[in-house]
Amino acid sequence: MKNIAIIPARSGSKGLKDKNIKPLLDIPLLAYSIRAAKDSALFDEIMVSTDSDDYAQIAKDYGASVPFLRSAKTSSDTAGSWDVVTEVLSQYQTSGRYFDTICLLQPTSPLRIASDIIGGYQLFDQKNADAITAVCEMDHSPLWSMTLPPDLSLGSFRKSLSQSKRRQDLDTYYRINGALYIRKISYHANSIQLLSEKEYAYVMERGRSIDIDVAEDFELAEFLMKRSLNTYSSH
């Protein structure tokens, strides 16, 4: 089975300037995803999709392939990740390279490690799946969430809480964490399809599920990474 890892790293960012290459403990953010993909030893190709020559050079310095830059169509902030994936696969197909699976690794998930990728692929094989998507347990049940009326009254919310179970008796809820997406690829005469009919959740630890969007996320990721390094070095 031939697998490709695609790390989407568009330049610029509205929430956090150049976050995909922002140094996290002196290493560019996107390098953590490259490292995890390499350490998993699962991929025939580890490719960074970017619209920037500077980003491309950084990716190459850390061992990824960047055989081409994104088109203008997939370089806008309205382009979706799966549009990027399809474009990348089409480019490889043009050069005669085909893959059985694609693993999308967002660079904003730097705490995701090789064992998460390996675990995702093991589940993919066990389930004979079309798709695996990483999730993590939510910090709080959505049943303890609310919308607020204009007058900020908590009356109706308190009433709904009084009718609900105790917090410790509530079901466990999960959210997609953005760290890992595996999809089976189907090639057709004029199209490429990413299969998702048989999709399963790969459960990751909450501590490795940080998705960096704003400065506070970055600071939390840095804290957790330092703590992990300190824990490892103390053993």
Structural domain of 61: 3-136+174-233
Residue in this structure with the two tokens 């699976």, named with its chain if needed: 101
Q: Are residues 181 and 200 in the same domain?
A: yes
- Kindly state whether residues 41 and 157 are assigned to the same domain: no
DSSP annotation of 171 reads: P
Residue 130: pLDDT band by 50, 70, 90 thresholds? very high
Q: Indicate whether 73 and 162 sit together in one domain.
A: no
What's the domain count of the chain?
2
Average pLDDT over residues 87-107: 96
* Predicted local confidence at residue 164, as pLDDT: 63
Query: Based on the domain organization, do 162 and 187 belong to the same domain?
Result: no
Do 58 and 120 fall within a single domain? yes
pLDDT in tens, 36-57: 999 999 999 999 999 999 999 9
- Are 167 and 193 part of one and the same domain? no
Which of 172, 195, 221 terminates a domain? The answer is 172
Closest CA to 184 of 171, 194, 169: 194
**Which among 76, 101, 105 has a CA at the least distance from the CA of 89?**
101
93 and 63 in a single domain? The answer is yes
Threshold 0.75, pTM exceeds: yes
Q: DSSP letter string over 133-147?
A: EEEEE-SS-GGG---
pLDDT at 235 over 60: no
Residue 167 confidence (pLDDT): 62
Q: Which of 154, 172, 190 marks a domain boundary?
A: 172
In this structure, the answer to whether residues 178 and 167 fall within a common structural domain is no
pLDDT at 231 over 80: no
pLDDT of 227 reads 85
Q: Which of 119, 148, 172 is the last residue of a domain?
A: 172
Residues 128 and 219 grouped into a single domain: yes
- Taking Cα atoms as reference points, which of 171, 177, 147, 173 lies closest to residue 160? 147
Strands, E, within the chain: which ranges?
A: 3-8, 23-24, 27-28, 45-49, 101-104, 131-137, 174-187, 192-195, 199-204
Q: Which residues, in sequence order, are CB contacts of 58 under 8 Å at separation 6+?
A: 21, 28, 30, 31
Can you give the pLDDT at residue 163? 65
- Does the pLDDT of residue 124 top 70, yes or no? yes
Q: How far apart are CA 196 and CA 116, in angstroms?
A: 20
Closest to 114 in 3D by CA, of 125, 105, 123, 127:
105
Is residue 168 scored above 70 in pLDDT? no
Question: Which has the higher per-residue pLDDT, 234 or 191?
Answer: 191
**CATH code for the domain in which residue 126 is found:** 3.90.550.10
151 and 110 share one domain = no
Query: Quick one: pLDDT at residue 9?
Result: 95
What is the C-alpha radius of gyration for the chain, rounded to an integer number of angstroms?
20
Q: Are 148 and 68 in contact (CB under 8 A)?
A: no
Q: Which contacts (CB < 8 Å, 24+ apart) does range 87-93 have? A: 87/49, 88/4, 88/6, 88/47, 88/49, 89/4, 89/185, 89/192, 90/192, 91/67, 92/4, 92/45, 93/187, 93/192
Question: Are residue 41 and residue 146 in the same domain, yes or no?
Answer: no
**Mean pLDDT along residues 11-31:** 90
Task: List pLDDT tens digits, range 146-166.
Answer: 888 899 998 888 877 666 666
Residues 147 and 200 in one domain: no
pLDDT surpasses 50 at 59:
yes
How many residues are recorded in the chain? 235
Report how far residue 190's alpha carbon sits from residue 86's, in angstroms, rounded to the nearest whole number. 12
